[in-house]
Amino acid sequence: MLGDGGGKGGPINLSDQLYYPAINDTLGADPNGIAFNPLSMTLYAAWEKPAERRRDDYRSNARAAIAAGEKLFNSAPMTISNVRGLNDNAALKNPISLAGTCATCHDTPNIGHHSLPLPLDIGVAHSSNPDLESDKVIAAAVNELSAPDLPVFLISGCPNPFNQGQAESFYTTDPGKALVSGNCADFNRVKGPILRGLAARAPYFHNGSAAHAAMTRR
C-alpha cells in the first residue's frame, strides 16, 4: 500500500496535501512570498532506508527504487533550453538556457503539475526529421517516443522565437494554446500535468506518445 512503511501516497494522504494556485512557484510568484523549494516530492522519503531490508525482499527493494526516483526528480540537474514559454519568455529575459530539475516545471508539492498555468512546448509534438527539427536533442528525444497516428498540420509564417527576424514553419499534431489565443508565440504549448497516479494511466503526454511499454523497456 502507498501509505505503508511511512509512505505518504494514496487518496487519504492527498486530502491533507496543501495546495493553492502558485504554491511553490519556481519563478517566485507564490502569493505567500515563500521561496521555491526544489524538494517538491517528499511522499516516499521514508522508503529510502527501510528499517529492515533483505536482498530478496522485493517489496522493500521496490520501495527503495521509488524513493530513489523521487530523489532524482527533486535533484538530478538538467539544462532547459529551446522550451517555448520559458526560454523565449521576455518576462524572464529570454534565457538561452536555465539550470533546473524535474521540479522546476512540476513544482506543486507532492502533486507535480505546474502550480501556475504556464503552458510550455517541451518538444513532445515536434518532428524527429532533422529537416524539420533544428534542435538535435529534441529530435533524439522525439525518436524515443512513438507518436500515434494523428493528423499533422503545417503552420507557416510564424516568427522563430529563438532567432529574431527569421520566419519558421511548424509541423505539429496539436497547436496547443495557440488554438485558444491565435498567437504564434503559443504554438505547441501545453500545461504540465498532475503526476499523481501516473502508473494507472499510460500512455503519457498529451498525444499519448510515451507508451507504458516504451518506458519500461530498459
> Which residues, numbered 181-210, are part of the site for ligand HEC (CB under 6 A)?
190, 192-193, 195, 198, 204-206
What's the length of the chain?
Answer: 218
Q: By CB under 6 A, tell whether 178 contacts ligand HEC.
A: no
Q: Are 35 and 28 in contact (CB under 8 A)?
A: yes
The three cell numbers of residue 90 are 521576455
Q: Tell me whether the omega of the peptide bond preceding residue 203 falls within 30 degrees of 0, making it cis.
A: yes
Report the residue number, 161 or 192, with the smaller CB distance to ligand HEC: 192
Mind giving me the DSSP string for 48-95? Answer: SS-SS--TT-HHHHHHHHHHHHHHHHHH--EEEES-BTTTT-GGGT--
Q: Among 46, 80, 116, 139, which residue interacts with ligand HEC (rule: CB under 6 A)?
A: 80
Report the residue number, 45 or 202, with the smaller CB distance to ligand HEC: 202
Site string for ligand HEC, 54-73 (x = CB under 6 A): -------------------x
CB of 165 to ligand HEC, least distance (A): 26
3-state secondary structure of 184: helix
CB of 75 to ligand HEC, least distance (A): 10
Q: Among 23, 41, 105, 147, which residue interacts with ligand HEC (rule: CB under 6 A)?
A: 105
The rounded distance, in Å, linking the Cα atoms of 195 and 172 is: 24
Q: Which residues contact 43 (CB under 8 A, 6 or more apart)?
A: 2, 7, 8, 9, 13, 70, 110
The three cell numbers of residue 186 are 503559443
Q: Among 8, 84, 106, 126, which residue interacts with ligand HEC (rule: CB under 6 A)?
A: 106
**Contacts to ligand HEC by CB under 6 A:** 73, 80, 83, 86, 100, 102, 104-106, 120, 122, 124, 190, 192-193, 195, 198, 204-206
